[in-house]
Amino acid sequence: MRAYEALVILKAAGTEQDVARSAAQLEEQVKKLGGMIERSEPWGRRRLAFRIARQQEGYYQLLRFQAPPARVAELERLFRLNEAIVRFMILTEEELAPMLSSPASRS
């Protein structure tokens, strides 16, 4: 198992319950593929820098999880097929480490 972090932007349309249901569905997809959720943080609704798929706002959800490396490609496929997801990015801890230790992130 390997540690990953996923930042997912969900469509902000609908009620808060709809968004919470979509976020819970993300966690279920990770678990179904043999992963384990370490932390799930809702970052809330934010205005997007530019319009994506006719959306001006998105609901940000941060997931930290562990999963078998061979199953991450399947998770990415499931995220692409999920119509509630506007954008997502999945990084390993190694890919994330340089971003966290850069001088720009300290200020």
* Domain ranges, residue 16: 2-86
8 A C-beta contact, residue 6 and residue 65: yes
Residue 45 domain-assigned?
yes
DSSP codes of every residue in 29-65: HHHHTT-EEEEEEEEEEEEEEEEETTEEEEEEEEEEE
What's the total number of domains in the chain? 1
Q: Which residues pair with 72 in a beta bridge?
A: none
DSSP codes of every residue in 73-91: HHHHHHHHH-TTEEEEEEE
107 residues of the chain, pLDDT tens digit each = 899 999 999 988 778 888 888 889 999 999 999 999 999 999 989 998 988 888 889 999 999 999 999 999 999 999 999 999 999 999 998 887 766 665 655 44
Structure tokens at 48: 């997007």
* C-alpha distance from residue 47 to each of 1, 10, 11, 56, 98 (Å): 35, 12, 11, 6, 27
8 A C-beta contact, residue 55 and residue 12: yes
Residue 91 domain-assigned?
no
> What is the rounded distance in angstroms from the CA atom of residue 52 to the CA atom of residue 40?
24
Residue 53 domain-assigned?
yes
Residue 96 domain-assigned?
no
CATH number for the domain including 53?
3.30.70.60
